[in-house]
Amino acid sequence: MKAAIMGYGTIGSGVAKVLDTNKDIIKARLGEELELKYILDLRDFPGDPHEDCFVKDYKKIAKDKDVQIVVETMGGVEPAFTFVKEMLEAGKSVTTSNKALVADKGAELMEIAEKNNVNFVFEAAVGGGIPIIRTLTACLTGDVIEEIDAICNGTTNYMLTNMEQFGSDYNEILAEAQSLGYAEKDPTADVEGHDSCRKIAILTSLVSGKNVDFNEIPTEGISKISSTDFRYAKAMGCSIKLIARSVKVGDTYSCRVAPFLIKPEQMLYHVAGVMNAVSVKGNMLGESMYYGAGAGALPTASAVVGDMVFLARNTNRHVKIGWDHEKLELADSAKQEYRFFVRTSALQSNIENEFDKVEYSNLDLDEEVGFVTQLMTEAEFDERAAALGGVKQVIRVF
Ligand code: HSE
């Protein structure tokens, strides 16, 4: 079975390493060798063990009838989309780790794969090394999924954990996450929550069977979380985690990505460093949770290689997972209900006028007070917070 890799960066080179390291066991499990024939990259890699495989024109791969499996680890929507489309149309199955591509073009590529009787899979696109995609599309496919709560960005979880435990400086710890190969090419996608947003959009598409537009998911990142917020969190016995949520409401889902205050009683509280976790509630299964390395070359490459074996086992057969082109109209996010932690310079009497009963969390700071509201909708909170004024920070309570 001959394969090609498009994009020899952190993940692509990790895929080659997994194939080399575990060559024998993969051969034994598949019943034939999984052989790397081409690597597409514009750069040169002199001395690389796969030096002979490098090509600069993707059409060379598309035209080679020997190649049945293509790995896309280039990142970004274009030219990845054009290349992947052409591979599928040429009768090759594709696996990608590229969530930007899957979130934007997943339903379309799935349709093209079906028409050409091949497969398009993307286990590595969500949760890095956690096998959450196949879990949802195969193991839990008999359940109605009622809720997904995920820490699904390794970079930000690594940063928040270090800020909490060691008081690390935001920029220094971001640079460290980048040097460890966790961050996206443009780390804005990590720290502003866009990466988590695309991942929860993909998971919601898979459990709803319709196409979620990730642009419609309200998304906040961690760039406004400060050491003062962590001091308040500690005083309340909480941590702060970037959580991507999707909750079933009637026939649709209500989604959000935001930093949340979370207590130790919740399993997601304990997910530290680069680890990711996805909690899934099914109507028959109840709650289950999946935990593992969310970023990094080898955990992500391990998921890609797992997909390659799946593709090799399913040549000449499209495996349908039920992700249609039809758009999913998400539920109104303004109706989501939370308790809100607020830091404000407003007077205590005004806080109680606007919010009635609140729980104070006082650090004895000059010119501000912290409090947690009762449960209310987003819309109601926005109205009351605007009337209160002086709001410096708002963090939802999980
Ligand atoms: N930048 C991503 C993360 C990589 O930090 O989780 C894995 O998708």
Cα distance between residue 181 and residue 9, in whole Å? 10
User: How close is the Cα of 262 to the center of ligand 1, in Å?
Assistant: 22
The rounded distance, in Å, linking the Cα atoms of 103 and 88 is: 18
Sign of the CA dihedral with 178 first, then 11, 242, and 164 last: negative
> Using one digit for the tens of pLDDT, what is the confidence trace for 223-239?
999 999 999 999 999 99
Q: Mean pLDDT throughout 125-146?
A: 96
Q: Is the pLDDT of residue 360 over 90?
A: yes
pLDDT-derived band at 359, boundaries 50, 70, 90: very high
In short, whether 182's Cβ falls inside 6 Å of ligand 1 is yes
- pLDDT for the residue numbered 186: 87
Q: Is the CB of 154 under 6 A from ligand 1?
A: yes
Q: What is the pTM of this model?
A: 0.97
Taking each helix axis as running N to C, give the angle between helix 348-355 and helix 378-388, from 0 to 180 degrees, rounded to the nearest 10: 150
Q: How far apart are CA 16 and CA 4, in angstroms?
A: 10
Angle, CA 187 vertex, CA 208 and CA 272 arms, to 5°: 70
Residues of the chain with pLDDT > 90: what percent?
Answer: 97
Yes or no: say if 280 and 289 are a contact pair by the CB < 8 Å rule: yes
pLDDT for res 185: 81
Among 180, 67, 31, 3, smallest CA distance to 18 is for 3
Q: How far is CA 205 from the centre of its chain?
A: 13
- How high does pLDDT run on average in the chain? 97
Q: What is the pLDDT of residue 97?
A: 97
Sequence-ordered list of residues with C-beta below 8 angstroms from that of 291, at least 6 positions apart, any chain: 130, 271, 275, 276, 277
Residue 243 scores a pLDDT above 90: yes
Active site residue 241: no
pLDDT in tens, 148-203: 999 999 999 999 999 999 999 999 999 999 999 998 888 999 999 999 999 999 99
**Predicted local confidence at residue 362, as pLDDT:** 85
- The per-residue pLDDT for 184 is 86
183 close to ligand 1 (CB < 6 Angstrom): yes
Task: Name the helix (H) or strand (E) containing 94.
Answer: strand 93-96
Segment 68-77, tens digit of pLDDT: 999 999 999 9
- Cα separation, 31 vs 25, whole angstroms: 10
> Taking the CB of residue 293, how many other CB atoms lie within 10 A of it?
20
| 294 backbone dihedrals φ, ψ, rounded to 5° | -90, -15
Cβ 184 under 6 angstroms from ligand 1: yes
pLDDT at 316: 87
Residue recorded with tokens 């919601």:
204
**Of 37, 92, 99, 199, which is the active-site residue?**
199
Question: How far is residue 52 from each of residues 18, 55, 72, 241, measured CA to CA in Å?
Answer: 18, 9, 19, 45
- Please name the residue whose Cα sits nearest to atom 7 of ligand 1: 295
Q: What is the DSSP string of 320-336?
A: -----SSBP----GGG-
Task: Say which amino acid occupies 195.
Answer: D
Q: Write out the two tokens for 103.
A: 């979130």
Tell me, what's the pLDDT at 71?
98
Collapsing DSSP states into helix, strand and coil, what is residue 293? strand
Q: Check: CB of residue 312 under 8 Å from CB of residue 30.
A: yes
**Confidence tier at 291 by pLDDT (50, 70, 90):** very high
CA 147 / ligand 1 centre spacing (Å): 22
| Residue 397, pLDDT score | 98
